[in-house]
Amino acid sequence: MPETVTQTWLNGRRVAAIGPVVLLSLVGLLALLPVAVILPMSFGLVGGGATNTLSADGYGTVFSESDFSRSLTLTTALAVRVPLGVVVGAWIAWLIVRVRVVGSRIYEFTLWFIFFLPNAPLLAGWILFLDSDYGLLNVAARGLGLNPLTDIYSVGGILWFQMVTNTTPIAALLLIPAMRTIDRVSDEAARVAGASPFRIWRSVIMPAVAPTAIVAGVAGLTRAMESFEAEQILGTPKDLIVLPSLIYEYVLDETPLITEAAAVSMFFIALMIVLTVAHAWLRRGQRQIALRSDQSVDPTDAYGARYRMAAGIGLGVLFFIGAGIPIGMLIVGSFMKVFGFWFIDMPFSTANWAEVLTGRNLSNALVTTIALGLAVAIAASLLFLAVAVMLRSGGPVLRTVVSGLIWLPWAIPGIILGLAVLELSLSAPVAWLVYGSLGPLIFAMLVRDMPLAVHLFSASLGQIDPDADAAARLAGAGPLRRFFRVTAPMIAPTIVVVFLLAFSSATKDVSSLILLAPPDAMTLPILTFQYLSTGAFESAAVVGVIAAFIALVMTMLALRVMRALDPSA
Amino acid sequence: MLRGIIVCAWAFATLASAAWAQDWPTESNADFDALLEAARAEGEIVIMGQPSLSEKFAAAFEADTGIKASFIPRGRGAERQRFYREVEADRLTIDVFLSGPTPFSLVEKDQLAPVRDMLLLRDLLAPEAWRGSALKWVDDAERYLPMPSIYAAGGILINTDIIDPASITSWDDLLAERMLDQVVMHNPARPGAGETLAMYLIDVKGEDFVRELLGNDRITLTSDYRQVVDLVARGTNPIALGALLANIQHYEDRGVDNLEIFWTNDVPGYVLGGGAVLAVPAGAPHPKAAAVFANWFLSQNGQEALALTQALPTDREDVDADLWPEYSDPRNRPELLNLYSQSWFFGTRLENRALLEGILAE
């Protein structure tokens, strides 16, 4: 095995002995603690209505119910968006990074903007456009004498929303850094050999980013399986229940079926273990290499100006549909007297804005959202960088165990993670001291963020040339100095990315946090979700526009910092 | 319109008050003064209730008492589980829970504090203060779960541009071929208004009627409350069953004027407490503040604040009836069945629920 940079700093005996223990404890705490609550919960030993008698009745009830098989089928069917999203995301990333189509900076900016936006506002925007009764598209269609063209409250509606809002943008964002590391002469060499742009994408670029695409696919699949918010809003009216919604229904029941909800969650976790093994198998034999790229070569030379222009216009249309329409509709919706009532007298009003802006919920939510986002982002950046560093210095067994554990949290549906953290906060020694503060929310978000953050840090550390650290060591630099003067500057863009991802996830999440928010401390997405779920779509649209503005500022900041750290980005 | 003007004026007055008003309680006593003093020393109360109460309603309480009201919203989702888990684990952050009758299950475990013992202001239990000469309670013992607000429900909502109310004289008319296709109902397979209505219909119209109404997949079912009213207002489905007062009010307040709700003689309807049943857990972290809240909530000021925020009719005689829509007012309608009563909620309802589950499974 080649020596890695982290191994060279962590070669002291003491660190070597303590490192694995610390690493396993940290990862184990975050990954296993929630499972340690959910497992006994599924056997009726913990949680509401617990009887202290071991029973598998929860599993029996769940697996014999038609609702379970129906929701499992639908959840699986909805997961088809993942491979499609990864392919489209890879295509978009290629156009932005390698082809550098006209407007590529704006498109990358838009991808980040969509990523930072919570789902709820975009949902409101899409509903106003695609609802079969009052969606603007269908109103226009009826005006032309046509039948309604779309119904957002359908399987197709959920698929569409998830594809354009989550699956594709996230896959593209994960693949963009990988695309940048491909040797810059590859495109030109393929072009000289007679390959068309599509052939270059398919035969040169895609194989080179395949490991990242697989990670994006696995990550996307697990997130798709546990996705909740859009399915709850768009699926509920037509009784389209996915597994996380089924769990929500169990918890919502008049006599909450916590045991059954936990049993479904354990099914998820088992599924996740299968996916993790599949992921490890797919990556077998792959070795991460330090990539060197000839900075003097411009890969865009391989593609003609006409192609770059045409592809740029095509991408522009796609981005207008994916982002422009829902944001535009959201802004319009926030000024409507009654959401979607286009033809009443004076359909527009500023009353919704006045009501939301003068209320105290908005200011509370703004403060909570920013405080939570910053706390989670700082903690995640420091903690998971440390985990990644220790992980790379560990032996193969430790790495295999920890790598598997790290992905486990994504198998836990948000609402169940919220219940598990609630249970921990209420019953674990000392933990209840922080109950009612932001502490449990920060813990829940760290659990959620661990898989992606550790993966990104590990990948980034793996791409550093070990010679750089070795040279600094020979020059007499100590471990800390080498880390801060050599390694940290090289992975600075990744630190920024993880910081932003963690900030964003804390400011987007609803399902994990809804049971944990302290009094008077809703986050903006929870406030939006509350408005949406109680039918106050107009107020939800107002909060959504404000959240969109925050996402816009976040995106500008993020890209400015990333470009300052890595001018090639 | 009048209600809109009153709401605006009240909201302005509430926002304008920087410090708590000195006009509540209008008639105090030494015991209550001592309680209020102790509650102010506690400094805060944490209320879990419907999200719409977190703004002006909470501000009105603060203005009247000088006690900070923090709020945890209880949507129609899983949030209420937090209250029950806190009670069970005896790690309470919530002082007051505004909900339906379900907290009654905590009475048997001694996990609820008796609200009656907290009521120190004289007029709160005075017969002349309440319609029917008494404050209503969920529990038969009349100690734990007061229910000051009730509204009439179980009617048929129609779009008057499309449906003539005279064309529906009984619920049997809804079973006609031309009618069934026009009906939207809140999904009775999910907990909520549609389920409640179906269980009530089993009582008054019988199982066969409910089977016929639901059994042929002709009516449109949705689990989205807003959509129930929305589809009627747009005329897509001009007849709705299981519509919520709050959603009807939302549309009417914004100028939609084609909605009408009415009852027929064969299904007179029922009353509900609108999620405004007051429960105080034993061991609340701010017990004095919770007691002050109980006194305020059942007073004219508290009920007025609730009516202004949610358009909920109150049983208090001294609150202006213009604050809620006439159709929701249960006064002079003794035939309405109280579905928040202990006997219905924990007796008949459960039997009918089993029957409904059987019908839906067919």
Instruction: Considering only the beta carbons, identify the residue of A361, A426, A520 that sits closest to B91.
Output: A426
- The mean pLDDT value for A33-49 works out to 81
> How far does the CA of residue A530 sit from the closest CA of chain B (Å)?
7
Measured between alpha carbons, how far is residue A261 from residues A250, A318, A417, A515, B303 in Å?
6, 39, 11, 15, 38
Q: Say what the pLDDT of residue A469 is.
A: 78
With a CB-CB cutoff of 8 Å, which residues 409-448 of chain A face chain B?
Answer: 415, 419, 422-423, 425-427, 432, 435-436
- Helices assigned H by DSSP within A335-485: 351-358, 360-393, 396-407, 414-427, 439-462, 466-474, 479-482
Q: Say what the pLDDT of residue B138 is.
A: 96
C-alpha count within 13 angstroms, C-beta hemisphere, residue B282: 13
Q: Which residues of chain B make contact with A135, given a CB cutoff of 8 A?
A: none
Structure tokens at A485: 């003067």
Q: Cβ contacts of residue B315 below 8 Å, gap of 6+? A: B130, B131, B132, B135, B136, B148, B149, B150
Count interface pairs A-B at CB distance under 8 A: 120
A293 in a structural domain? no
Is residue B162 classed as helix, strand or coil in its secondary structure?
coil
Q: Cβ contacts of residue B318 below 8 Å, gap of 6+? A: B129, B300
- Spatial distance between the Cα atoms of B260 and B158, rounded to a whole number of angstroms: 5
Q: Which residues of chain A make contact with B93, given a CB cutoff of 8 A?
A: 435-436, 518-519
State the total domains in chain A.
1
- Spatial distance between the Cα atoms of A161 and A222, rounded to a whole number of angstroms: 17
- Helix, strand, coil percentages (3-state) for chain B, rounded to 5, are 45, 15, 40
B358 close to A (CB below 8 A): no
Q: How confident is the model at residue A430 (pLDDT cuts 50, 70, 90)?
A: confident
Q: Which residues of chain B make contact with A426, given a CB cutoff of 8 A?
A: 85-86, 89, 91
| Per-residue pLDDT reduced to its tens digit, B199-253 | 999 999 999 999 999 987 789 998 888 989 999 999 989 999 999 998 999 999 8
- Helices assigned H by DSSP within A168-209: 168-180, 185-192, 197-200, 206-208
Q: Cβ contacts of residue B329 below 8 Å, gap of 6+? A: B151, B152, B313, B321
Q: Which residues of chain A make contact with B236, given a CB cutoff of 8 A?
A: 133
Contact B222 A238 (CB under 8 A): yes
**In B55-164, beta strands by DSSP E:** 68-73, 96-99, 151-153, 156-159
Flag whether pLDDT at A365 surpasses 70: yes
A57 in a structural domain? yes
- Helices assigned H by DSSP within A103-242: 104-116, 119-130, 136-143, 155-162, 168-180, 185-192, 197-200, 206-208, 210-226, 229-235
Mutation to test the A interface, candidates B57, B91, B186, B195, most A Cβ within 10 Å: B91
B253 close to A (CB below 8 A): no
Give the containing element (helix H, strand E) for A244. Answer: helix A243-252
Can you say how many angstroms the Cα of residue B182 is from the centroid of all Cα atoms in its chain? 28
Flag whether pLDDT at B5 surpasses 80: no
Mutation to test the A interface, candidates B12, B45, B54, B310, most A Cβ within 10 Å: B54
Flag whether pLDDT at B105 surpasses 60: yes
| Per-residue pLDDT reduced to its tens digit, A374-429 | 999 999 999 999 888 888 777 777 777 787 788 788 778 787 888 889 888 888 87
Instruction: Considering only the beta carbons, identify the residue of B50, B225, B251 that sits closest to A338.
Output: B251
A289 in a structural domain? no
> How far does the CA of residue A422 sit from the closest CA of chain B (Å)?
8
A536 in a structural domain? yes
Can you say how many angstroms the Cα of residue B184 is from the centroid of all Cα atoms in its chain? 22
Q: Cβ contacts of residue A34 below 8 Å, gap of 6+? A: A409, A412, A416, A417, A420, A421, A424, A447
B72 close to A (CB below 8 A): yes
Q: What ipTM describes this predicted complex?
A: 0.82
Q: Which residues of chain A make contact with B77, given a CB cutoff of 8 A?
A: 248, 252, 514, 533
- Spatial distance between the Cα atoms of A493 and A5, rounded to a whole number of angstroms: 18
Q: How confident is the model at residue A189 (pLDDT cuts 50, 70, 90)?
A: confident
Contact A426 B89 (CB under 8 A): yes
Q: Which residues of chain A make contact with B256, given a CB cutoff of 8 A?
A: 338, 341, 344
Q: Say what the pLDDT of residue A296 is.
A: 58
Q: How confident is the model at residue B38 (pLDDT cuts 50, 70, 90)?
A: very high
Is residue B257 classed as helix, strand or coil in its secondary structure?
coil
Contact A426 B86 (CB under 8 A): yes
Is residue B89 classed as helix, strand or coil in its secondary structure?
helix
| Per-residue pLDDT reduced to its tens digit, B46-101 | 999 988 898 899 999 999 999 999 998 886 666 778 898 899 888 899 999 999 99
Flag whether pLDDT at A531 surpasses 60: yes
A290 in a structural domain? no
Angle at A519 between CA B18 and CA A41, to 5 degrees: 170
Buried b (16+ CB within 10 A) or exposed e, A226-239: bbbbbbbbbbbbbe
Q: Say what the pLDDT of residue B20 is.
A: 45
A91 close to B (CB below 8 A): no
- Spatial distance between the Cα atoms of A505 and A529, rounded to a whole number of angstroms: 15
Give the containing element (helix H, strand E) for A75. Answer: helix A66-78
Is residue A154 classed as helix, strand or coil in its secondary structure?
coil
A297 in a structural domain? no
The full set of domains in chain B, from first to last, is 2-150+273-326 (3.40.190.10), 155-268+341-361 (3.40.190.10)
- Spatial distance between the Cα atoms of A124 and A417, rounded to a whole number of angstroms: 26
Buried b (16+ CB within 10 A) or exposed e, B147-156: bbbbbbbbbb
Computed over every residue of chain A, the mean pLDDT equals 83
A294 in a structural domain? no
Q: Which domain holds residue A106?
A: 5-284+303-565
Structure tokens at A336: 């409507």
CA nearest to A253 within chain B: B191
- Helices assigned H by DSSP within B192-329: 193-204, 207-214, 225-234, 245-253, 287-297, 300-310
For the domain that residue A518 is a member of, what is the CATH number? 1.10.3720.10
Find out whether B156 and B175 touch, Cβ atoms under 8 Å: no
Q: Say what the pLDDT of residue A51 is.
A: 64
Q: How confident is the model at residue A1 (pLDDT cuts 50, 70, 90)?
A: very low
Q: Say what the pLDDT of residue A569 is.
A: 59
| Per-residue pLDDT reduced to its tens digit, B163-201 | 999 999 999 999 998 899 999 999 998 888 999 999 999
Q: How confident is the model at residue B18 (pLDDT cuts 50, 70, 90)?
A: very low
Bridge partners of B338, per DSSP, are: B271
Flag whether pLDDT at A4 surpasses 60: no
Q: Which residues of chain B make contact with A422, given a CB cutoff of 8 A?
A: 82, 85
Q: If you count DSSP H runs as helices and E runs as strands, how many of each does chain A have, helices first?
A: 29, 0
| Per-residue pLDDT reduced to its tens digit, A117-166 | 888 788 889 999 999 888 999 999 999 999 889 999 999 999 999 999 88
CA nearest to A517 within chain B: B72
A169 in a structural domain? yes
B71 close to A (CB below 8 A): yes
